Amino acid sequence: MNALGRHLLLELKDCNLEVLNDLDFLKGCLHDAAKKIGATVVNECFHEFSPHGISGVVVISESHLCIHTWPEYGYAAIDIFTCGDSTKPELAVKPLVEKLGSKNSSFIELKRGILQGSRVGCEIK
C-alpha cells in the first residue's frame, strides 16, 4: 500500500425514505458493514435530528464508518475510512446500497496519508 488509509465516499440517492430515519436500522447497517469489511468495532455515536435525519459514526480500530441522512431528499452520505491492509472497505458498498434501497448510487475512493514524496492536490501554506 502506498497510503496509510483508504477513504470511500458513497453518494446514495433515491433511497428508501423510511429506512433513512430508522435509527436502529442504520446502526445495524453500519455494524454489519464493519463486520463485512473485517473491521473491529470499538465505539459508536448516533444522533436523531428533528423532524428527521440521522447522523452517526461507528468507530473501528482501523478508523471509522459514518452516515448522514436526509430523508426529505431520499439521500444518504456514507464514509468508510480504513487504515492498514487488514480490511476490505469495498466489500461494504453493495450491501449498503441494497439495504438503503438506493436507486442511484456512486462512490469514489481516496488514498489518505500518501507519505512517499507523492503530492496529490494542493499544498496548504
Indicate which residues carry an active-site annotation: 63, 68, 83
Q: What is d(CA 98, CA 91) in angstroms, rounded to the nearest whole number?
A: 12
Q: List strand residue ranges (DSSP E) for the chain, in order.
A: 5-13, 41-48, 54-60, 63-70, 75-83, 104-112
Q: Where are the alpha helices (DSSP H) in the chain?
A: 23-37, 93-99
